[in-house]
């Protein structure tokens, strides 16, 4: 019997002993092509030499020195890198490091509150986020998340957060509505909600630039985030961009928000930042937020023991350097175009494929019982989970989710391959998914 408290206490799990390129290898020698990087984490594959060497080298000289007293070189270098490439408007921002996406979201929420307190705007305690969305599993992050199933058992313990609709074109854009009209209608939900709550009570709006697992790699309609930025600015509300899943190159630009032409006041990032080699997340505060603190207490009212860990930041710096030196963003765009075309060619006309959406190397296939009515499959059938199991038997790993249609029903399968994938691997991913969907939807 295992003494690890696993996600399932009853299911048998293979033991992974090695990573090789885009593959994970178990203790029986079985190879799995990782088509989703776990959860959009392993963007450089599983045996990147430069990152391994950077982590080992840092471990050999310094692992840990408490941030109450010291800084360290890798943390400084990585912050310089991230700020230098941040979306225009971020200015002389600063970066804090944490261990997980959830921790980063908690820290971002507290930073937003600190910003307002430093300016004497004491009534701003409330957050507006979107549904569906996922922002993590700690209580604050879970509270701002809009995932009904994950929230349910803990609902009685969560802070009160307002949710507006995520811009989910497949189910929400009206037939008589242009993309621009749809973008405006959905973004204006924020304006209405801020007015209803009282602008002076709202601390921040939280949204993923490209929605990850909860909705299936859903980009926003053109113009949506420009309008969001205007509304936030008009009411003194901060915008927190959760780039934990969609950031660090996954959508073809280092920051997903670059493609929307705006900048956030606070940005969180995690998965692709460490690429799985080290547990690391970051919160980037823009110059506007930093100036409020500099003009006020001059102190960060939040801290954790493992902030700015030297080995974690050295690993992440090497990941960023690999992405830049090898021009991997160009590969994300090239391979992403191949993935999109392949998915559309193989699955675009399938009777049970309702929608194929995504950007860069971040794609999802939403499955429906009926293409005409868009009716989802019965939740109990667990179609997305069955697709994952069947694909794993065929040696390819996908990320399944349920709940996109109404919070509970709606199956989709997320694809987030390594930026270092070969074209053959991309083709295998497409062909395997098409075969498994065909077999599981009869």
| Binding stretches for ligand PLP (CB under 6 A) | 39, 100-102, 105, 134-137, 208, 212-213, 242, 244-245, 270
The secondary structure element, H or E, covering residue 291 is helix 287-294
Long-range CB pairs of 58-63, under 8 A, 24+ apart, other chains included = 58/310, 58/311, 58/314, 58/315, 59/311, 62/310, 63/309, 63/310, 63/311
- Closest separation between CB of residue 134 and ligand PLP, Å? 5
Structure tokens at 344: 């559309």
- State in angstroms the smallest separation of the CB of 268 from ligand PLP: 7
Q: Which of 399, 251, 415, 400 is nearest to 343 (CA)?
A: 415
Q: Could you tell me the two tokens for 248?
A: 């660090």
Distance separating the N- and C-terminal Cα atoms of the chain? 37
Which one, 128 or 244, has the nearer CB to ligand PLP? 244
Closest contact distance (angstroms) between CB of 345 and ligand PLP is 28
Q: How far is the CB of 102 from ligand PLP (least distance, A)?
A: 3
Q: Which residues touch 345 (CB under 8 Å, ≥6 apart)? A: none
* CA–centroid distance for 373 within its chain: 30
Query: Which residue is it, tokens 């709606």?
Result: 410
297 vs 375: CA distance, rounded Å: 54
Is there a cis peptide before residue 132, judged by omega within 30 degrees of 0? Answer: yes
Both tokens of 431, joined, read 């062909």
CB nearer to ligand PLP: give 137 or 291: 137
Task: Please state the closest distance from residue 378 (CB atom) to ligand PLP, in A.
Answer: 26
- Whichever of 113 and 271 has its CB closer to ligand PLP, that residue is 271
CA-CA distances (angstroms) from residue 28 to 17, 32, 302?
Answer: 9, 12, 45
Closer to ligand PLP at the Cβ: 243 or 340? 243
Whichever of 208 and 331 has its CB closer to ligand PLP, that residue is 208
Q: CB-wise, 132 or 252, nearer to ligand PLP?
A: 132
Cβ of residue 23: shortest distance to ligand PLP, in angstroms? 22
Task: Point out the residue whose Cβ comes nearest to ligand PLP.
Answer: 101
Compute the distance between CA of residue 59 and CA of residue 55 in angstroms, rounded to an integer: 6
Nearer to ligand PLP, 5 or 84 (CB): 5
The least CB distance from residue 137 to ligand PLP, in Å, is 6
């Amino acid at each position: 019997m295992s003494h690890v408290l696993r996600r399932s206490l009853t299911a048998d799990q293979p033991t992974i002993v090695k990573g090789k390129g885009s593959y994970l290898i178990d203790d029986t020698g079985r190879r799995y092509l990782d088509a989703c990087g776990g959860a959009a984490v392993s963007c450089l594959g599983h045996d990147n030499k430069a990152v391994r060497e950077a982590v080992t080298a840092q471990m050999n000289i310094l692992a840990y020195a408490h941030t109450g007293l010291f800084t360290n070189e890798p943390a400084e270098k990585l912050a310089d890198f991230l700020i230098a490439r941040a979306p225009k408007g971020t200015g002389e921002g600063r970066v804090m490091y944490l261990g997980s996406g959830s921790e980063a979201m908690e820290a971002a929420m507290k930073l937003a509150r600190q910003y307002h307190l430093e300016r004497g705007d004491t009534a701003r305690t409330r957050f507006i986020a979107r549904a569906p969305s996922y922002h993590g599993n700690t209580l604050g992050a879970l509270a701002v998340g809009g995932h009904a199933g994950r929230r349910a058992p803990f609902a009685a313990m969560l802070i009160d957060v307002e949710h507006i609709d995520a811009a989910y074109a497949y189910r929400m854009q009206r037939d008589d509505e242009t993309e621009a009209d749809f973008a405006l209608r959905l973004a204006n939900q924020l304006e209405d909600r801020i007015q209803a709550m009282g602008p002076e009570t709202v601390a921040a709006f939280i949204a993923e630039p490209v929605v990850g697992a909860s909705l299936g790699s859903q980009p926003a309609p053109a113009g949506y985030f420009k309008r969001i930025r205007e509304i936030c600015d008009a009411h003194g509300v901060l915008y927190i961009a959760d780039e934990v899943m969609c950031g660090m190159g996954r959508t073809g630009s280092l920051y997903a928000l670059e493609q929307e032409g705006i900048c956030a006041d606070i940005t969180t990032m995690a998965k692709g930042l460490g690429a799985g080699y080290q547990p690391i997340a970051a919160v980037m505060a823009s110059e506007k937020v930093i100036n409020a603190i500099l003009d006020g207490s001059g102190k960060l009212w939040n801290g954790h023991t493992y902030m700015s860990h030297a080995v974690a930041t050295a690993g992440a710096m090497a990941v960023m350097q690999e992405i830049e030196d090898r021009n991997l963003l160009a590969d994300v765009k090239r391979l992403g175009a191949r993935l999109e075309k392949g998915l559309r060619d193989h699955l675009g006309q399938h009777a049970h494929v309702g929608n194929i959406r995504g950007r860069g190397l971040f794609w999802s296939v939403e499955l429906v019982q009926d293409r005409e009515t868009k009716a989802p499959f019965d939740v109990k059938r667990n179609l997305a989970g069955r697709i994952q199991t069947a694909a794993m038997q065929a040696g390819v790993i996908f990320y399944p989710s349920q709940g996109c249609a109404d919070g509970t029903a709606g199956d989709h399968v997320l694809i987030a391959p390594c930026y270092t994938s070969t074209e053959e691997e991309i083709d295998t991913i497409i062909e395997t998914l098409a075969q498994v969907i065909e077999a599981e939807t009869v």
